[in-house]
Each structure stands twice: as C-alpha cells, then as structure tokens.
Structure 1
C-alpha cells in the first residue's frame, strides 16, 4: 500500500495479543497491518468455502478479500487468528479487487468492539489502517461509482471457520477434507463445542447449535440486525461475523432489514433472525451427515437450538422487564402486547427499555402518566388516543405483575440496566465518525470506541451519543435516511443522494 496510516486500534484486543500501546503506535505495526510486510512466523492464506445465499446454494465462494495472517499464541496460551480484510485479491476474489474502503472498515471496526462490550459473541477488531490509495465503489448500487479512501481492518477470532467451510467439501464429495476440518475443532481450541472427530461430528453440530442460539438471543436483546445471514456468514463458534449491511433498530419493527438487496423478500429481517439461524444450522447438519450417517442423532442435536433459544430468551426477556423470572402463564401475553404496542407506536427500542427502568411500577397510579409520556417521548410518530389507552392498559398489567414479585426497586433497576444498553452504535453515529475520518480527523472514531466500551453505564457528559434520530413530524417512517447532525449543517443521505443544507433546522422529505 502506498502510504499506510493508522486510524484506530483496540487497546483491549492488543493487550490480549500481548501488544503494548507503543507497539500499536509504531511504524512497524502500521506496515504489518496494512499488508506491506509480514511479522516473523506469519503464513498468510485465504480460505475456500461454499454457502447458501438468500436460501439458494451459491456453490464455491471463499475469502474474496480476507487474508488470514496466521494464528497467534496469546500470553495466556489461547490462540487467536489474525485476518486482514481489504488487503487485495485472493484466489477466491473472482472478478473483484479484494480491497475495502474506509467507510466499511470503520463500521466493522467499531461494531465488532461495540458488540463485544455489549456482551454479544463476536469476532473482534484490532485495527483500521488507511492505505493511502483510493478504491472505486458504487456505494448505493445506483450506477454512480465514486472514488473512496481505501482501508484495511484487522479482525481477530479463535477461528474464522464458517458453516460454508464444511458445505464446500460435502458438495465436492471430499470426505477426507471434511473429516480433517471437523477434527480440528477440539475442546482445547474451541471451548463449548467439545471434541468433534469423525466418530461423532454430531457433537460439533450440538455445540454450534447452542452457541448460535445464544448469539441470536443477544442480537434480539440489543436490537441488532445482521442483514446478510447467508451460511457462509455463519461462524461455527456462534460468533457474529462479517459486518456488512448491519444496523440497529431505531423504531421497533420486526420487519426491518438494513440490507437493501433484501428489501423485497426481507428474508433477513430482525424478527426472522432466529428462524434463519435454525435454517442455516440445518444446512450445517446436512453437510456433516455424510460422515455421521445417523440422521436420528443429528435430528436430536437440532432440537438443542429451540431448547436453548427458548430458555435464554425467556430469561433475557424477564431481565429486560426487571422481573426475577419468566412465568409463561403470566408473561407471554404481557410481552406480546408490549411488542405490538412498541411497533404500533414506532418506539425507539433502545431508549424505551432503558428508560422503563427509571419508572417505579410499585408506586401509585401517577406513574402511568409518566409511562405514557416516556413512550411518546421515544416514539417516531404521535401517539393516537387508541395507543394511549393501550399504553395505560399495558402499564397497569406490568405494574401488577411487578408487584406480584414484591421486588426491590433498586434491584429491579440494576437488573434492567445490566441487559438494556444506553449506548449502541446507531447508524448516524457511525456515519458522523466516517465523515470526519474521510477528512483526516479520527477523533470521533476514538471517542465512539471509548463510549461503546461501557454501553450500560451512564457516562455523564456523553448523553448525546444516546440520542435517537428524529426527523420532524414525518419521522423515520416516511424518510429512509440517516441524519448526521453536524455543527454547521445537516447531511441527509436519502435514496442514494447526499445534500448539505447549511443553516437549516427542518428537513423536508424528498420525493
């Protein structure tokens, strides 16, 4: 690369790898993680895999722009694979250039670390490096490609093995390779899966089922939408991998997807993620079957997903509402009514659950008015009289259910704040950081990274990072855009166009 320049690095990931701040700020670090030189022992390679994309078998795929540098042994003895994304062509790039741009690299870097600190299983990110070169990209797929600054992100994980790594060998009827890749996933390196030799690869499936179920529960808990849950984007370890068209729910909408190419069928919408995860796991089981040859054992293993998901989601839902436990007889209807209310009122999911903790369900009836005011404050549309009535009715049921546990108000609040984050990587925050970074100012990237290290803490003075995007009386339901509030201008990204409106403080919807 022409002139590498460090944009940001994660001190926590660096420390895990045994790297100091001085190491990360060195010229040598920048050269290595821009792909300009190899450190001792690095043996780069790209992986070949297959996959189902949008429900259809796509055949051979592979690391088109990801290059594993090798496996590092950490000071505590654990192993971590280092992988560059965007360093150039690989044998599996097909007609692509294998490069990445600063925009997508910052989004992946920040989201990887944000997810980790939220408690969501994920790959990590060590660094983002500018390459000093430009890359042609059609950001909105509208036939208007532009030059963008190139960048490389270094990803870190125990393994980047995907469901598709198994699928490709099954599709080729290469059972020897399938047996080898299965045998690599032993308990020492992949905690939670257990040894998965050819004798019982169903154990690998059971482990992956459980870990994937836990991962998706966390996605639903924080309102994260992956956007492209193809089988080649599913980690065998139940880690969130490949941050492409991801997003967080603003208003609660189970039908929302950040993937514009999925807008028609919405296969990968928020509410469908558990179902798609299971579908993908069935494809993994199918890939393993030629070695196991016992359909019954694999079928039994598949039941682990639904059992794990149901148990974890029930416990998570109870915690989000401040309840000590989930009682199906009482709480299924309570939760169902709440989700319908949040969707109808177009309520900001993150702010709602966080601020619900500040209301006292054990207090007199006056809290009901506070609840309606909170709901209205955090909704993207005015509350009609019918929704106000529904809100009052729901809050009455919620207070009754909370009082049935005779809990301590402060313990309830702490329980809720431990699972309901105040800070998530909202799209407009990521875009603000990208805008400034493209002008050579990396300060907001660093500040956002610092804020997202403590997503459940109050962080006085940083409340602006917890604000939602509200666009006048029409709100986000009528204008599909991301609002970046700058000191002197509003930048509105809508339908693929970017317009600066200096001095304006109201936004007129396009079209």
Structure 2
C-alpha cells in the first residue's frame, strides 16, 4: 500500500512546540503533533470502495491487515507525523474559546491524481484538545458517520467522505442521554477523507488570540491550496476568500434543505471553509415535514439548529468568520456587502431548487406563491417529505386534482384522519400546480426524470441507521452493508429495496437513536 505523502498543512503552518498529550491551552499554533492510541484488537468492519479508489488504494489492499492496522491507528504510515488541529468556535451561539480536534487525529495528507486529501481518524484517542473527554468514539456513532458521509456524497451534497469503519477491540464508557446512566460500549474508529478539514474556527482561534501573522498565514494557505482562482497580493484577496466561502456555504445549505437533512450541531467549529458537510454527530433527516425539528437533544429547548433555521444559522456563522477575518482587511464595508447579499442569493437559489423539486421552469416570480402555499400545506397534516416529493413526479399534466392528490396520498401519516377542509386546501394547491405543469410544455416523462434527479427515493432515515446499529452491536453487519449499497443510488427506483421507501414506523417515534440523539459518541 503506497501513498504519496504531501503534508502541506503541517509543513507550512505553525506547530505546537509542546508534544505532550495533556490537555492544555495553545497559542501561535495551527496543530499539535499526537499519535493515535493503539487499539487492542482492531477489526475492519467495512470500507467504501469508492473512497478507497479515490485515494489510490486497491480493494485488495483495503482487505489487507496493513490497511486495518494503519486506518485503526495501530501502525503509522512511514514518513508521517499525525497531528490534531487547533481551532476555536461559537457553540450554540456562545463563544467557547479554544476547542480543537478532541477526538480526531490527522494521519497524513496525500496527493493522488493531482488532488490533495487529508486522512483523519475519528475516535483515535486523546489529544491536547480533548478537554475532559477520552478522545474515543463508539460503534453506534461511527456507523452513523460512516453511512451518512457516503450517503450524502451520492445525494450530491458537498461532504467529507468515509474511507473505513473499524472496531478497536476496546470498551468505551458513555452516558448516551447525559442522565447519569453511563454504560460501556464497543469502541470504533472511522477514517474521514476531505481535501481539508479547515473550519471557520481555525480563523476564529488566531483572531481571538490577536495573532495576525498566523491568521494571515492561514488565509494565504487556504487561498493557495483551495481557492487558487483568487489572485493578487492586497487585501482584496481576503475579501474574495470570504466571498468564496460564503458562496460555498450557501450552496451547501441549499442542498441540505433540498434533501431534508438537519445537521444538528451547526457550531462555527463544525463549519468547513470549503463548504463541506463535516462532523456527523446528532444529525437526522426530516421524516414528516417539520421546519422546527432538530435531532439534537441538547438543542431540544431552544431549537437553534432546527431544519428551518439552518440558512440563518449559516449566515450567523459567516458573521463570526467575517469578524475573524476583519483584521486582514481592516474595512467592514466589503464584508458587510457580502453578508447582505447572502440572503438575496439564498432566496434565489432556494426558489430555483424548489422549482427543480416541483418539476417547474422558473417563471418571472419563481413560483414563490406556489412554493409558499406548499410549505404551509405540508404542515396541515403529518406528511413524509421524501415520499411526497418523490411521488409528486408521478403526477401527469392531464390528471385531475383528485387524481394528483391520490398519487401523493401515500406520504400522509394516518391518511384516514385527514379532514375534509385539509383535503380541500390540497385540491386547491393542485389546481394551481397543474396549471404550472401544463405551462411547462414538456412531457410527463421528461419532467418526472428531472424531478427524480433532485428528489431522492432513499435517504438514511434515522430508524434505518438505528436498525443497522442494533444489528452491528450483536456482530451482524449485513444490514450496514445493505444500506451502504442502497444509498449509493438514492435517486434510482431499486425496486428490490422498496421496503426502505416507507414512512417512519410508529415504534421509531420516540426510540433513542431513531427520533432524537445526543452529542454522545
């Protein structure tokens, strides 16, 4: 197994001179060298064939003991020095100060096919940023991250990838609901892959320490390696960098809203400078369409990170990044202009995305009234978001309102309890929708094909992930493998897998792991 090592980050940015593992505050530092904790008995559970190929490893190599040893943290790749990244951040709207990789360790950076990738282990042991934690991860959270990273990629959502999932052979003590009932669970480690794991919080750390030289180094490094289209040598480069990050972030959020994904922990330290979805903790997909839903038990009271608030939280986070980058620019107006334009650009992108989901061509007003009515209608009666939009593609131009309603009725929970008034409201909406569909002047087949490319049939529903976890904890990984394969083609019909195109079962409404989750991992 040969990898081309290219540690740009650790070679070009400042290292922590203290190489002890103990938790501490660091300054003038982008990262700290640290070795992964050696697992007692690593076991490969699964690897992603696509991600293995992405980094230039063959499937034969991925099935070898060397692969297991390296990507569990048992052995180091020759010529590498693993490290944990240092960053700060705002958590749930409050400044948290120094944070950093508390349970993630970068093994190395590599170059393959002229592209640089960072290989990072999550759950590989304590680092200087672990605070009071042990730096480990458990099987349940690792399965969720492994499945979701790849599911999001195949949904065409910007994301980090997951290379492999390993058992460590060690037991990890966790209090799942933070209620004083801690239990031992199976330890596990995931290898995450991304061009970079630089976050908003990396910039916030240097800004908070008034470390302008290293703030500038980090910005220059980011431009040179990830936004090379930005040219020049004056302050305008940093304005252009902020604008590029704002655009990438906005586009990521539009994709989240398109597929009904809720991140759950949109702290600034969980925001990628590349507009990638990172840090899959207590995430979830909308089952019924509910803009107020959050999967995070910690967020249960204030619902800061609820589905409908994600676009505004992304903007709030961008404000914090703007504050961090301000010392490089020393002028507020250009940053404020970019932040001001975020909302207008987001609304335009959102309307375009919704038109795609509805199978409509954008008209002069972008069908805003129709989209607004739909959002209201979906709240009238518990309605499965994924099934509704997928089945909407079956509606034909010549259908009556009743026929169209029948085609989406599978998406309703307790269909028999829909009131006459609610149905009438839906029939009125279909009157308006069918007029728009007929104005399209494209065939039903063509419209359905376009809709099916943006409206997934299969997503990683919370109960599906929990079923895979329950089986895996008993040593049966067959469901994990099945879901991993299913989610590679989320827009295809896959008729043999129709059982997964179904509403959330009643048993999953309140079950831990299937409804809400904690940050415990």
TM-score by length of 1: 0.90
Q: 28, 48, 64: which one pairs with 1:10?
A: 48
Alpha-carbon deviation of 1:312? 2.0
Partner secondary structure for residue 130 of structure 1: strand
Partner of 1:261: 298
Tell me, in whole angstroms, the C-alpha distance in 2 between the residues paired with 1:494 and 1:181.
Answer: 37
Partner of residue 209, structure 1: 246
CA–CA separation in structure 2 for the residues paired with 1:68 and 1:304: 36
8 Å contact kept, 2:138–2:188: yes
Q: TM-score, normalised by structure 2?
A: 0.88
1:391 and 2:391 aligned: no
Q: Comparing 344-353 with 459-468, which one deviates more in the overlay?
A: 459-468
Aligned-partner Cα distance in 2 for 1:27–1:433: 25
Asked if the contact 2:290–2:379 (Cα under 8 Å) also holds between the matched residues in 1, the reply is yes
User: Which one of the candidate residues 505, 510, 520 is aligned to 1:470?
Assistant: 505
Shift of 1:466: 1.8
Residues 321 and 494 of structure 1, relative CA distance in 2, 3 Å threshold: closer
Q: How does 1:2-151 map to 2 (within 5 A)?
A: 2-74=40-112, 76-151=113-188
Q: Is the 8 A contact 2:219 2:238 kept in 1?
A: yes
Could you tell me which residue of structure 2 aligns to residue 311 of structure 1? Answer: 348
Give per-residue Cα distances to partners, 1:335-384, cap 9 Å, x unaligned: 11111111121110000000010111x1142xx22333344421224211
SS in 2 for 1:447: helix
Q: Mark the CA change 1:267 to 1:305 in structure 2 (over 3 Å): closer, same or farther.
A: same
Counterpart in 1 of 2:406?
373
RMSD, aligned α-carbons: 1.9
Aligned residue in 2 for 1:336: 372
Conservation of the 8 A alpha-carbon contact between 2:295 and 2:516: no
1:300 CA displacement: 2.1
CA deviation after TM superposition for structure 1 residue 48, in Å: 1.1
Q: Which residue of structure 1 aligns with residue 12 of structure 2?
A: none
Is 1:481 aligned to residue 511 of structure 2?
A: yes
Aligned pair 1:226/2:263, yes or no?
yes
- TM-superposed CA distance for 1:327, in Å, is 3.8
Is residue 406 from structure 1 mapped to residue 441 from structure 2 by the alignment?
Answer: yes
Cα distance in 2 for partners of 1:290, 1:326 equals 43
Within 5 Å, which residues of 2 pair with 1:403-442? 403-442=438-477
Is the alpha carbon distance of 1:7 and 1:326 closer, same or farther for their aligned partners in structure 2, counting shifts above 3 Å?
farther
Distance 1:192 1:380, change over 3 A: farther
In 1, Cα distance between equivalents of 2:284 and 2:513: 14
Structure 1 contact 130–152 (Cα < 8 Å) conserved:
yes
Aligned residue pairs total 477
Query: Take 1:457 and 1:197, find their aligned partners in 2: how far apart are those partners?
Result: 48
The alpha-carbon deviation at position 495 of structure 1 amounts to: 10
Aligned to 1:201, the other structure's residue is in SS state helix
Deviation at 1:267, TM superposition (A): 0.5
Conserved in 2, the CA contact under 8 Å of 1:64 and 1:98?
yes
Is the contact made by 2:351 and 2:368 (CA closer than 8 Å) also made in structure 1? no
Separation of aligned partners in 2, 1:32 and 1:433:
25
Alignment-derived partner of residue 383 in structure 2:
347
